[in-house]
Structure 1
Amino acid sequence: MREHAGHKAAVVAIVRDGRIMDDDEAFARVAKSGVPAVGVVGALDPVCSGEQLRAVGFANVVVVHEAGHGVVRENAAEVAAAIEAFWKGLSAKSS
């Protein structure tokens, strides 16, 4: 897989400046915001698990088996299918 020249710096900035690590309160605010959301995680992810997302309030969580933290890159088709199903579910509710 190829990455653009700024990829590594962007990832470092997300972790350093985005305050996403160990901030369960921020995830809980999103989960309780009323905005529809889906969490997609790898079953083998050592950073974030489906159980952790459910514990902070996410109702819609998809766990991709045999996947780790790189679930989006490594299992793109499964992640896309989960997101597509989520969007279709929203469309069905609004019809």
Structure 2
Amino acid sequence: MRSRLYIAFHLQWLLACFLEQSLHNIRPGAALDELGADSFDVVELQAIVEETFNILIPQPIRTYTTFAELVELVYRLLPPQGKAPSTS
């Protein structure tokens, strides 16, 4: 399984590019809406995160989700390394 640090690094870069933010603005307690994401951005961002990490996020991500919460969510949903995600 990938580490939280690996996930945080990739999510930080992804958010910085997607939301046109400095990497320094993306800190653990920063909520997506504080970073400039509206509800439409969050829907698109969720699809990008799912595709990037090959996961399925069962609930919609909210604009008030913090960066740390997003890292933890992705970490929990990642399948063990080398195994495909379950489709059931």
Q: TM-score, normalised by structure 2?
A: 0.30
Higher strand proportion (structure 1 or 2): 1
Q: Which has the higher contact order (CA 8 A, sep 6+)?
A: 2
Q: TM-score, normalised by structure 1?
A: 0.28
